[in-house]
Structure 1
Amino acid sequence: MIADNGTVVASIGRDHYKTELTASTHTLLADEPTGNGGTDSGPMPGDFMRMALASCTAITLRMYADRKKLDVERIDVKVNSERTEYKTIFKCEITIAGNITDEQRARLEEIAHKCPVHNVLSHPIEVDTWIVH
């Protein structure tokens, strides 16, 4: 099944728990590790949330660095998460390689908080789910 722009489609057959994900013209696989009964043929669903935050943060920082003509060679964003009783905490560790000042580094940290995925995850989220016939 092909998704339209902005819609992601997840399709699963009888394989435990290999799921084909389609976004626009891109296809990826999600799965569970073998220890959970899957075939480990793709990242777990929670990994995709962490990847979305990491990639959005990196892209946002690259856009800013390019626009401001900062001497940034590489940006690495490492994201992990932990679930507490009341919330999920995402932890983003950013490494920036290049010739930048402490002031520029501080501004880049501020900009990291402005990525769209960070904004979505930082605010209340509502999910409407229904089964169609």
Structure 2
Amino acid sequence: MTAPTATARYEGQLRTEATHVASGTSIQTDAPVDNHGRGEAFSPTDLVGTALGTCILTTMAIVAERHQLDLKGSTMQVKKIMSQDAPRRIVQFDVDLQLPASLSESDRALLERVAHTCPVALSLNPEIRQEVRFSYQ
């Protein structure tokens, strides 16, 4: 049996501490304010959105390196939208990417295609809408 990717411990008061097994890095999660929590750390659903945005950036960077393109300093913002009805669930992510203005039109087209093929984007339930927008600064 292979080692787990992560472990987590419930700390009480709707907070967990998760540890990445290979690196020992840890993060805390907290229930959001609108669901009985204090909102003092990422909620589990915040992490899903963060995973989507960072996966898009990472996948684009892998392709950019292959093409000798520099994406250093590129940024991402993600907004999570939850359902208003039961059951409580994620219904949409809005991902805004800011990339270098120096990218050519063909490089932009390549990276924009790649953005929609990251493993997290492909793994999310198709009912979760993914709005990905690009700006070049």
- Shared fold (TM-score, shorter chain, > 0.5): yes
TM-aligned CA deviation for residue 91 of structure 1: 1.8
Which of 10, 13, 18 is the aligned partner of 1:12? 10
Q: Normalized against structure 2, the TM-score is what?
A: 0.72
Correspondence list, 1:1-133, <5 A = 4-6=3-5, 8-13=6-11, 15-24=12-21, 25-33=24-32, 36-84=35-83, 88-123=91-126
Question: In structure 1, what is the Cα distance between the partners aligned to 2:33 and 2:121?
Answer: 31
Q: 1:35 and 1:122, CA in 2 relative to 1: closer, same or farther beyond 3 A?
A: closer
Higher CA-based Rg: 1
CA contact (8 A) 1:72 1:98 kept: no
CA contact (8 A) 2:78 2:96 kept: yes
Q: Larger relative contact order (C-alpha < 8 A, sep ≥ 6)?
A: 2
Secondary structure at the aligned position of 1:105 is classed as: helix
Question: In structure 1, what is the Cα distance between the partners aligned to 2:67 and 2:16?
Answer: 41
Q: Residue type of the partner of 1:105?
A: R
Q: 1:9 and 1:34, CA in 2 relative to 1: closer, same or farther beyond 3 A?
A: same
CA contact (8 A) 1:71 1:98 kept: no
Q: 1:104 and 1:117, CA in 2 relative to 1: closer, same or farther beyond 3 A?
A: same
TM-aligned CA deviation for residue 122 of structure 1: 4.8
* Runs of 4+ deviating beyond 6 Å: none
TM-aligned CA deviation for residue 98 of structure 1: 4.5
Q: Normalized against structure 1, the TM-score is what?
A: 0.74
Name the count of aligned residue pairs.
Answer: 119
Q: What is the aligned partner in structure 2 of residue 130 from structure 1? A: none
Give 5+ residue unaligned stretches, structure 2: 128-137
Q: 1:17 and 1:87, CA in 2 relative to 1: closer, same or farther beyond 3 A?
A: closer
> Identical aligned pairs, as a percentage?
25
Question: Which digits, 9 at most, give the CA deviation of each residue in 1:66-124, with x for residues without a partner?
Answer: 11112434221222232456972222211102511122112111000111111101558
